[in-house]
Amino acid sequence: MTLFSEPQTGMIADAIMPVLTCPPSHTILIHDEQEHVTLEGAQVVDNTGVKTLLYQPKLTDSSAIFKKPDRLVFSRQSVGHTYAILVTAEDYNHNRATCNYTLTVEGMTL
C-alpha cells in the first residue's frame, strides 16, 4: 500500500518547544581563596537543535556576576546575595522554553 503516490514538497513546521530543566534552588559556596565560581546549571534538548541558552539573573549588583552565553560566573562580590535566575532556551524555529530557580551565594573560610 502506497501512502503518497507523488513526491512530497514543502516543509513541516516545527512547533515543539525545547525541553528545558533547571536545577533546584540551591546555595553555592565561594571560599576565601577563590576569585569566582562558574556554574553550568540548566539542561536542554530539542528535536531541531538549540540556538540559544540564556541565563538572566535579576541583579542588584551587576559587578557580582559575569554573564556568559551558557553559564554564570559568580565573583566574591556576590557573597551574601540571593539571585532569581531565569533561563530561556530557543531552538532554530524560534520555539522557546523557560524555567527559573533561586541561587544563594555564601562565603566560606578555609
Domain ranges, residue 40: 19-108
CATH number at residue 69: 2.60.40.10
In a domain, 14, yes or no: no
Q: How far apart are CA 66 and CA 6, in angstroms?
A: 55
pLDDT (0 to 100) of residue 33:
80
Tally of CA atoms within 13 A in the half-sphere of 69 that contains its CB:
4
Q: What is the mean pLDDT of each run of 10 residues along the chain (110 residues)?
A: 48 86 91 79 90 77 62 82 89 94 87
- pTM value is 0.75
In a domain, 60, yes or no: yes
Q: How far apart are CA 67 and CA 52, in angstroms?
A: 14
